[in-house]
Amino acid sequence: MLASLDWWTIAIYLSLLIFGWVSVCGASYTYGDTDIFSLGTRSGMQIVWIGTSVCLGFVLLILDDRFYDTFSYVIYVLLLLLLFATIFNPHEIKGSRSWLVLGSLRLQPAEFAKFATALAVAKLMSTYGFNIHRWKHFAAACGVVLLPMLFIVAQRETGSALVYLAFFLMFYREGMPGSILFTGVAMVIYFVAGIKYEQVFLGDTPTSIGKFVVLLLVQLFSAAMVYVYCNNKKRAFRLVAFSIGITLIALLFSEYVIPFDIVWVQFGVSAVLIGYLVYQSISSRLTNYFYIALFAIGSIAFFYSADYVLNDVMEPHQRVRINVLLSLDEDLSGAGYNVHQSEIAIGSGGLRGKGFLNGTQTKLKFVPEQDTDFIFCTVGEEEGFVGSAGVLLLFLALILRLIYLAERQPFKFGRVYGYCVLSIFLFHVFINVGMVLGLTPVIGIPLPFFSYGGSSLWGFTLLLFIFLRIDAGRGMIRK
């Protein structure tokens, strides 16, 4: 087994642990501290978490790789029960009930539920006869992912719940229609464009740019889907020409003749487009046209419900964070304070950084949560652009290595689990670094192997080393 282990991945893992400890030390250091290794300091405790994580990884490697396949559902059910029990946890930390407090030890079950969910969905998708193209099978796989997600939301830990959306990247690799992934991306575009520019008007017309852009995108996306999924180039170009032509005529008329809201014209164009797609579905007996019509209807319905969700469903702090991200509110002393200070810290690092323990923004505690969710700003300030790029390259090497390992698995269970692992790592890195740079919403998720704490470090170690053990057993002869 030792000969079959992927030592390159282990080397990357150990490198990330070392750089992570240096970053925690820099983020938590206070001027005057004489012993950074003391258990009374965050850097000293992080050494304990790192040591226990390495021991945990060793234990995972000495177990038989078939153990994870055999007991996947058992582990999943146990973690679900733990997640459910945590909902009624009397201890509330920063508005969240996701932490179990056992004396001086605090554990977050949501971090461990990731590997359990990955094992369960890999077990389900590797069963004989499973076909992701069958809606019943795909719905069952989605249910395995969404159930822990709902429990975590009930704990008021929305950020950790959103991580489970990463599993849809694995679904796409395993054959989920690209239209589903595209629909998710389109919804994000509708939300950002519609909400950000809803109160901005087009020229001298009373037309909201947000509504105008979204409705036009719905029409263009629908035409593009006709080209891709119905394989009809001429019909797609006709739909594009019709949408743009009518919209352009209405725009010129509103600008130079009688000002009016062009959105009403676009509604009419969208209605004609949807009716045409339904007619083509009936006449040609191609259900793809009907699905594209549903996409157009759902897109419009989603956009007009987004405002309600933002203002009436989301919590006030979540709404403020989104408004700050979309530059609708400045709020540098409130919701935008963390991001603003982290940007200052990263920018002050320059090319080569200020050096280990020499960061002023972090030492003077200007950045809240700087050794957990916002730890990447410490890397930027002390190590500069060079150090930040090096850390990101290490994560890139880990992701690429996981793709290579997942693709060489001889059985579907190992491949699916491997893609679950790399999807979760990719989501964490992208969102965490993005929120520190002000590019993504602040949802409070840790940077793998860098953020301070035992739960996240153990959770990521469990994810990675279970996969390494499964990979190490790929060529073993079974008796």
Exposure class string for 227-238: b at 16+ Cβ within 10 A, else e: bebbebeebbee
User: What is the rounded distance in angstroms from the CA atom of residue 325 to the CA atom of residue 315?
Assistant: 16
Report the percentage of the chain scoring pLDDT > 70.
Answer: 92
DSSP track, 80-127: HHHHHHHHT-S--BTTB---EEETTEEE-HHHHHHHHHHHHHHHHHTS
pLDDT of residue 31: 67
pLDDT of residue 479: 45
3-state helix, strand, coil in the chain (%, to 5): 70, 0, 30
Decide if 413 contacts 124 (C-beta within 8 A): no
Residues 6+ apart with CB under 8 A from 145: 117, 121, 164, 167
pLDDT of residue 179: 85
Taking the model in full, what pTM does it have?
0.87
Decide if 141 contacts 124 (C-beta within 8 A): yes
Spans of all domains in the chain: 7-180+319-473, 198-314
Tell me the average pLDDT across 70-95. 87
Note the pLDDT tens digit of each residue in 353-377: 888 878 777 777 777 777 888 899 8
What sign does the dihedral 316-321-324-326 (CA atoms) show?
A: negative
Decide if 37 contacts 43 (C-beta within 8 A): yes
Report the percentage of the chain scoring pLDDT > 90.
Answer: 51
